[in-house]
A = this chain, B = another copy of it.
Amino acid sequence: MIKVDVKVLRLNHRRIRDARITTHVCLTARAFGASGLFLDGDHDQKLIKNVQDVVKRWGGSFQMDYEKNWSNLLDEWKKSGGEIVHLTMYGEPVQKVTSTIKKSKKNKLVVVGGSRVPTKVYEEADWNVAVTGQPHSEVSALAIFLHLLFEGKELDLEFEGGEIKVLPLAKGKKVIIDQG
């Protein structure tokens, strides 16, 4: 897996309307190899706790942070030498641009909207990346981008230190639970 730290910024989270979609964004970020997520918009402590509970039970060290000023975060991220990838249907095709993105070993902040994404995000982004030019979901866009960035190796990630682990099976369900 490429050796860059990837974090996700979820813009404009709205506590009631977006609770489930944002949760899926967080869990997808974690499952596909990002190391953490910054939540912008409502300071939804229940959502943050839910994701932290998943991390505790399922392992790994995914970091959840509330970010009250996304604009500062973009500036700080770039100042500290990181790069910004903004996922938007209006951007350049992911299948064309990801090979260039992979060449840089700088840490990546992957930004996902949000209904209305401010112009500054398009301008500050090192890459505006489209996972198809069709409307679908920030959840699938994030999964596909991370999958291409990590070249499929994220599918073999192991999450250390969790209490629960699934054993792959052709039929049925089997889990190992660490009773501590």
A61 at the interface (CB under 8 A from B): no
A93, A132, A167: residue with the most chain B Cβ atoms closer than 10 Å: A132
Minimum CB–CB distance for A161 against chain B, Å: 13
CB-CB nearest in chain B for A153: B95
A3 at the interface (CB under 8 A from B): no
CB-CB nearest in chain B for A96: B168
Contact residues of A: prevailing secondary structure: mixed
A84 at the interface (CB under 8 A from B): no
Contact: A169 with B128, CB < 8 Å?
yes
Contact mask for chain A residues 39-59; partner B; CB cutoff 8 A; 1 contact, 0 none? 000000000000000100010
Contact mask for chain A residues 166-179; partner B; CB cutoff 8 A; 1 contact, 0 none? 11111111110000
Given contacts A90-B172, A155-B94, contact A165 B128 (CB under 8 A): no
A114 at the interface (CB under 8 A from B): no
A27 at the interface (CB under 8 A from B): yes
Within 8 A of B (CB), among A125-180: 125, 127-128, 130-137, 139-140, 142-144, 147, 152, 154-157, 159, 165-175
Which residues from chain A sit less than 8 Å from chain B, CB to CB? 17, 20-21, 24, 27-28, 30-32, 54, 58, 88-95, 122-123, 125, 127-128, 130-137, 139-140, 142-144, 147, 152, 154-157, 159, 165-175
